[in-house]
Structure 1
Amino acid sequence: MALSDTFIKSAKHSGKSVGDKHSDGQGLYLHIKAAGKYWRMAYRMHDKQKTLSIGVYPAVSLAQAREARKRAKEQLAQGVDPSTAKQDDKHAAKVASTNTYEAVAREFHQNKASGWSEGHARKWLRMNELYLFPELRRKPLEEIKTKDVLAALQKVEAKGTLSTAHDLQQMAGQVLRYAVQTGRIEQNPAPDLRGALRPHIAKHFAAVLEPEKVAALLRAMDSYNGSPTTKIALRLAALFFQRPGNIRAMEWTWIDLDKAMLTIPPASMKRTLNEKVNGRQHHVPLAKQAIAALKELQPLTGSGRYVFPGARSSLRPMSDNTINAALKRMDFGSDDHVGHGFRAMARTMIAERMTGIDADMVEAQLGHGKKGALGGAYDRAEYMEQRRAMMQTWADYLDRLRVGAEVIPLVTKVAQIQAKSAYSPLDESASSY
């Protein structure tokens, strides 16, 4: 006798430990236990009695249970075991749920992040979370077409952030290439995006490069009436020409005033993770003017960790916007000169205004690695004497500009030192910093 909805709804567990079975015919029955009501189907396959679990009532209704019985009968007629087919379907559903762009992107990130710098790993995931996951997260990878990725990128492009759009295009390509490599999809649609976005022309950091303008900037820095620590940070940015992040996060333990040396740990340099772990320290010889500035600052911040502590907490370094905000107050806006511009200012003016200083020497002081596959591995000469002379010459040059002295190209002490040490610009062992 077939079951009815009314009977199923009102049927109770009798208290038997094995439960109560109520047949609907053709193998289908309702198994009532203390924990609930379960749909089951009894069938034979390869001369073995087997049971198919269909679902739990009322989540699975009588009509749905009968439809499941019908599908099972059809599978049996084709020689397919319904229980095995169900497990295959569950596995396929599980694979599909982990075969989305977001799932594969997170897996790719987890596998690769240990080889990336912490900052890059954090930025990579955050950018995907902000821009690509919302657009692609629920779509199975095999359904993602070139047009789908392009649509997500064009939303970013429309905001005017072309560099971000191009970065995301590269990231999407990495994820989809990884999906091909791990057998999730057969073809990567990302390469077809080449040329689809508007070209991004990188804009160099604004910097003053002419002696007259540099002189005006230096005098404005001397007249700056803001925080004394910010004023000295500006002065040292010009003297050191290091990255703004290294200056604002500079620690007192990095400085040896007696030896006139700033030593930046490799982990704090802008390098790959391998270079951060295995690389050398970056040495910055201190000119007399830099030592004087640091001694002036010592009574203010010397008892703490950071040379330039944050305004709100001494446990954190100065904000990354402090220098640019100070420059803006001095009427040197983002189109005139920014904190990073001190590096371009030094690099350009040393090349154009100071004869006898080889470009490799300046690159070493900027913290740029030697180019070439073997540059970092074998090129370990520091040329500290020449670099010390260069930094003092640069500091003296800035002083001459500040007071308005007529400055002509200088033959520096560096040239004399290089001549004594028989240094040649063609020497393959130029500095690797």
Structure 2
Amino acid sequence: MLTEIACKAATCPDDRPRVRFTDAGGLYLEVTPNGAKRWFWKYRFDAKEKRLSLGSYPAVKLKAARLARDDARRLQSQGSDPVQRRKIDKATARINSGTTYQKVAIEFHAIKVKEWSAAHFTKWIRLQEANLFPWIGPLPIADITAPLLLETLRRVEARGRNETAHSLRQYAGQVFRYGMATGRCTQDPAHALRGALQAVIVKHMAAVLEPKQAGELLRAIDAYQGHPTTREALILSALLFQRPGNIRQMEWAWVDLDGAMLTIPAAAMKRTVQGKRTGKPHLVPLAPQAVASLQRMHTLSGSGRYVFPSLLTGERPMSDNTVNAALRRMGYTNSEMTAHGFRAMARTILGEHLETDPEVIEAQLAHGKSGPLGMAYDRTTYMAQRRKMMNEWADYLDKLRKGADVIALRA
């Protein structure tokens, strides 16, 4: 039988690879010439001699080694192989360490790098890190319940961020469904929270929607005393009613003045990553008034890349706040008109006062077809109708600008 003093004094001669100091019940201390000391338990299982490592001395004292031996012997008496049981326990620990909500979320996020846009990819993980990881991140994903997730999302609601809470519920649902697919949880508690969060009050972009008000806006643009580039950006925002980003980032390479056509590449459109890569460009017919505006801009920026370059450097497009700032200078508050409001103005007046076919308007707005198969089977471009509509729209704006009597036209 070993003693603590004997364990401490045990050594191995330099001419031997190792020396074993035997205790009882198959327990022994193995010592090597470099002074390393390790506990082992020798036993038999399925008629084979095996040994189980119980740790190093002096980190594991003699008493602790004996207790570990006794635990292993109990497993053996129950028909389990202690070495195999240890392998299973280690594997289980490795699996459990990879099943926290945070680790599953990070794993799911990584596989979406080629599918999501860079902006969404960044936003998704940023919101998780700020709002979910601090509370449910360290928990095993299988242990997270709907009430626990709801309590976490209520913290976001308490800050007045209802829309963020709804986004986080959606993001969490993606993580739980991925966890179910990979066998790390069996349910999606985010699905159970449908209807449990506070409603999001949708605020539409401020816009001028009546012809009389549109005429006042157009006259204000005519009288604008700011930079000529900004004035032309306002004019084309009204004439083309494209997304503000497509207006300010417009490149001369997209413009065909002779053919009276603006071709916005698929990569510059508001689409999915797949749509940006393989989708068709968006075509915008140019009315004579739009061509005239672009010709005026060509004298100012035609030698550069962008139609509306930054006033600080021509290497970047106009700032995303330039048009909105110009509207503020013209006396329009943020609740009255915005850069995005030109789209709503055109959509409303074209539909209600010019009675234009809604499908033609939607095509020009670059809105996707409704329904899951809309884009797959409806490839109509309405190009002839769109060119006619853009010319009629430009002429109608001229009448509004002049303050003439406005009579609704039949499409």
TM-score (norm 1): 0.85
CA distance change for structure 1 residues 36 and 138 in 2, over 3 Å: closer, same or farther?
farther
Q: Which 10-residue stretch deviates more, 220-229 or 76-85?
A: 220-229
Q: Which 10-residue stretch deviates more, 285-294 or 255-264?
A: 285-294
Matched position secondary structure for 1:49: strand
Q: Partner amino acid for 2:230?
A: T
Q: Partner amino acid for 1:365?
A: Q
Matched position secondary structure for 2:132: helix
**Alignment pair present for 1:393 and 2:392:** yes
CA distance change for structure 1 residues 232 and 134 in 2, over 3 Å: closer, same or farther?
farther
Is the 2:310–2:318 contact (alpha carbons within 8 Å) kept by the matching residues of 1? yes
How big is the shift at 1:150? 0.8
Counterpart CA distance in 2 for 1:199 and 1:62 is 64
Provide, for residues 397-429 of structure 1, a one-character-per-residue CA deviation record: whole Å limited to 9, x for no partner: 222222333323234xxx4xxxxxxxxxxxxxx
Provide, for residues 126-164 of structure 1, a one-character-per-residue CA deviation record: whole Å limited to 9, x for no partner: 322332222211000121111221122111111112111
TM-score (norm 2): 0.89
Q: Hey, what does 1:408 align to over in structure 2? A: 407
CA distance change for structure 1 residues 334 and 185 in 2, over 3 Å: closer, same or farther?
same
**Alignment pair present for 1:338 and 2:338:** yes
Is the 1:262–1:285 contact (alpha carbons within 8 Å) kept by the matching residues of 2? yes
Structure 2 matches for 1:91-170, cutoff 5 A?
91-170=91-170
Q: Which 10-residue stretch deviates more, 336-345 or 312-321?
A: 312-321
Q: Hey, what does 1:266 align to over in structure 2? A: 266
Q: Hey, what does 2:246 align to over in structure 1? A: 246
How big is the shift at 1:310? 4.1
Matched position secondary structure for 1:410: coil
Counterpart CA distance in 2 for 1:352 and 1:326 is 28
Is the 2:363–2:382 contact (alpha carbons within 8 Å) kept by the matching residues of 1? no
Q: Hey, what does 1:423 align to over in structure 2? A: none
Counterpart CA distance in 1 for 2:12 and 2:293 is 87
Is the 2:12–2:35 contact (alpha carbons within 8 Å) kept by the matching residues of 1? no
CA distance change for structure 1 residues 44 and 253 in 2, over 3 Å: closer, same or farther?
same
CA distance change for structure 1 residues 299 and 26 in 2, over 3 Å: closer, same or farther?
farther
Q: Partner amino acid for 2:393?
A: W
**Alignment pair present for 1:325 and 2:325:** yes
Percent identity, aligned pairs only? 52
Is the 1:309–1:318 contact (alpha carbons within 8 Å) kept by the matching residues of 2? yes
Counterpart CA distance in 2 for 1:61 and 1:236 is 83
CA distance change for structure 1 residues 228 and 59 in 2, over 3 Å: closer, same or farther?
farther
Q: Which 10-residue stretch deviates more, 142-151 or 177-186?
A: 177-186
CA distance change for structure 1 residues 26 and 299 in 2, over 3 Å: closer, same or farther?
farther
CA RMSD of aligned residues (A): 2.6
Is the 2:323–2:339 contact (alpha carbons within 8 Å) kept by the matching residues of 1? yes
Q: Hey, what does 1:52 align to over in structure 2? A: 52
CA distance change for structure 1 residues 306 and 63 in 2, over 3 Å: closer, same or farther?
farther
Counterpart CA distance in 2 for 1:395 and 1:277 is 32
How big is the shift at 1:364? 0.8
Matched position secondary structure for 2:42: strand
Q: Partner amino acid for 1:127?
A: L
Counterpart CA distance in 1 for 2:300 and 2:60 is 74
Is the 2:11–2:35 contact (alpha carbons within 8 Å) kept by the matching residues of 1? no
Matched position secondary structure for 2:17: coil
How many residue pairs match? The answer is 410
Q: Partner amino acid for 2:289?
A: Q
Q: Partner amino acid for 1:94?
A: R
CA distance change for structure 1 residues 17 and 399 in 2, over 3 Å: closer, same or farther?
farther
Q: Hey, what does 1:28 align to over in structure 2? A: 27
Q: Partner amino acid for 2:407?
A: I
**Alignment pair present for 1:375 and 2:374:** yes
Counterpart CA distance in 1 for 2:9 and 2:29 is 13
Counterpart CA distance in 1 for 2:312 and 2:38 is 63
CA distance change for structure 1 residues 190 and 275 in 2, over 3 Å: closer, same or farther?
same
How big is the shift at 1:251? 1.9
How big is the shift at 1:118? 4.1
Matched position secondary structure for 2:50: strand
Counterpart CA distance in 2 for 1:73 and 1:24 is 15
Counterpart CA distance in 1 for 2:196 and 2:15 is 69
Is the 1:3–1:23 contact (alpha carbons within 8 Å) kept by the matching residues of 2? no
Counterpart CA distance in 1 for 2:22 and 2:309 is 78
Matched position secondary structure for 1:363: helix
Q: Partner amino acid for 1:294?
A: L
Q: Which 10-residue stretch deviates more, 94-103 or 276-285?
A: 276-285
CA distance change for structure 1 residues 214 and 32 in 2, over 3 Å: closer, same or farther?
farther
